[in-house]
Structure 1
Amino acid sequence: MFLPVFSIFTILISHTYYSSANSVFDFCVADFSHSGPGGYGCKDPTTVTVDNFVYSGLAIPNNNTTKVDNIIVDTNKLPGLNGMGVTMARAYFPVGTGDPVHTHRVSEAVVVNQGTLLIGFIDSNNTAYYKTLNAGEMMIIPHTFMHFIINVGSTPAIAYGAFGSEIPGKQSINNAFYGGNLPSDLVEKITLLDSPQVHNFKKRFGGTN
């Protein structure tokens, strides 16, 4: 477990150094009562405690054996991340599950902590880059590219992720087309699917129209 955690913290420290090199403040712990250039305004430094920089939720064991479970540690969960340009995440993948095609607005580093995961992304030339990774191996996902993770092993898998933003965002391709209010006739035109197929997907992902 040491290698994945060490790799992620190396990335985080490097990214934080370059993104904060010109900062005039040591930190800007989030004050959720008003917004600011770092996402939120800065909490009064005299009221800041070490707990503003600590999050223990990643240590909570996963008891779900059938569904993927993601824990995203962004500014909303860890106020000390405000303005730091980083986010941490842990994803638990039961056997046979995966995280379908999605995107983030920033780049991501994925480190396999346990099990075997097939991880890949598709670039702007529609070239797919994917590989099966085991514990201690990692992959970089360039920003905005569609990517996916699948547990191809015989045991549950765990991966840790580091993002180049304290609020990286996530957009599921399936939910974008079939989980919102995009009219079905328009979805048919832009996906080249017929009406029954579109309505079947919309029913599955909870879309309207």
Structure 2
Amino acid sequence: MASKFLLLALLAITSSIALASDPSSLQDFCVADAKNSVLVNGLVCKDPKLAEANDFFFSGLQLAGNTSNAVGSSVTPVNVAQIAGLNTLGISIARIDYAPWGINPPHTHPRASEILTVLEGSLKVGFVTSNPENRLITKVLEKGDVFVFPVGLVHFQQNVGYGNAVAIAALSSQNPGVITIANAVFGSKPDISADILAKAFQVEKNTIYNFQSKF
């Protein structure tokens, strides 16, 4: 009886471990059917017999983004919204352009880690570890350098050169998401109460109203 119980326990543990990981793909691909109204965690597959080369193709990363904005940067994403064939594959990329001294403001990707490669220019990059340490890990990157931002952690990039900079980011999700900290905190709809934010940031409410007016 004891040996049977032990065997059942081992089977249960093995099953729980197997169920804890992402399932393996059961088909070659799952091209997203954006017109399907069924709600799933991802996008419904269209008939694979209807798949074509354009479902796996995107053109335009050679084009510089428009950095004439308040932060001096532009992100060109290539995720499942741009390439339907990325559905279920767990990967995406983005091009990031930076004007001189432009920034990609502090933000997080809730569903992906990121690996950034500098193609042109010099970038100061960094991320902050979670509470309670909140330790800043930062480095200046040059052309050809690579840096990793772990999933969910607040991170940023700044062009620290006098010319334009370009980077390519690879992400471990077909739809990594992005939460820009300032936009989320000061630009929510409706506004987060100024009382809450004033206490959180230890400033006067008028300061909060000023920040909210910018977003």
Tell me the TM-score normalized by structure 2: 0.82
2:101 to 96, 102, 106: 96
Matches within 5 A, 1:141-180: 141-180=149-188
2:55 to 49, 52, 57: 52
1:38 touches 1:82 (CA, 8 Å); kept in 2? Answer: no
| SS of residue paired to 1:139 | strand
CA distance in 1, matches of 2:173, 2:40: 13
1:69 touches 1:93 (CA, 8 Å); kept in 2? Answer: yes
1:191 aligns with 2:197: no
Deviation at 1:62, TM superposition (A): 3.8
Deviations along 1:97-141, one digit per CA (max 9) or x if unpaired, are 101111111210011010000010010121111100011001000
Length, aligned pairs only: 187
Matched to 2:139, the amino acid is K
2:116 touches 2:167 (CA, 8 Å); kept in 1? Answer: yes
1:104 touches 1:169 (CA, 8 Å); kept in 2? Answer: yes
> 1:32–1:63: structure 2 CA closer, same or farther, 3 Å change rule?
closer
> Which residue of structure 1 aligns with residue 24 of structure 2?
22
Aligned Cα root-mean-square deviation (Å)? 1.8
Deviation at 1:188, TM superposition (A): 0.9
Matched to 1:47, the amino acid is L
Matched to 1:183, the amino acid is S
CA distance in 2, matches of 1:71, 1:122: 24
Matches within 5 A, 1:49-128: 49-62=52-65, 64=67, 67-105=72-110, 106-124=112-130, 125-128=133-136
Comparing 58-67 with 187-196, greater Cα deviation is found at: 58-67
1:108 touches 1:143 (CA, 8 Å); kept in 2? Answer: yes
Deviation at 1:187, TM superposition (A): 1.1
Same amino acid, percent of matched pairs? 33
Matched to 1:108, the amino acid is E
Which residues of structure 2 form unaligned runs of 5+?
1-20
| SS of residue paired to 2:61 | helix
Deviation at 1:21, TM superposition (A): 7.9
CA distance in 2, matches of 1:65, 1:100: 15
Which residues of structure 1 form unaligned runs of 5+?
1-18
CA distance in 1, matches of 2:23, 2:212: 47
Tell me the TM-score normalized by structure 1: 0.84
> Which residue of structure 2 aligns with residue 33 of structure 1?
35
Structure 1 consecutive aligned stretches of length 4 or more whose deviation exceeds 4 Å = 35-38, 63-66
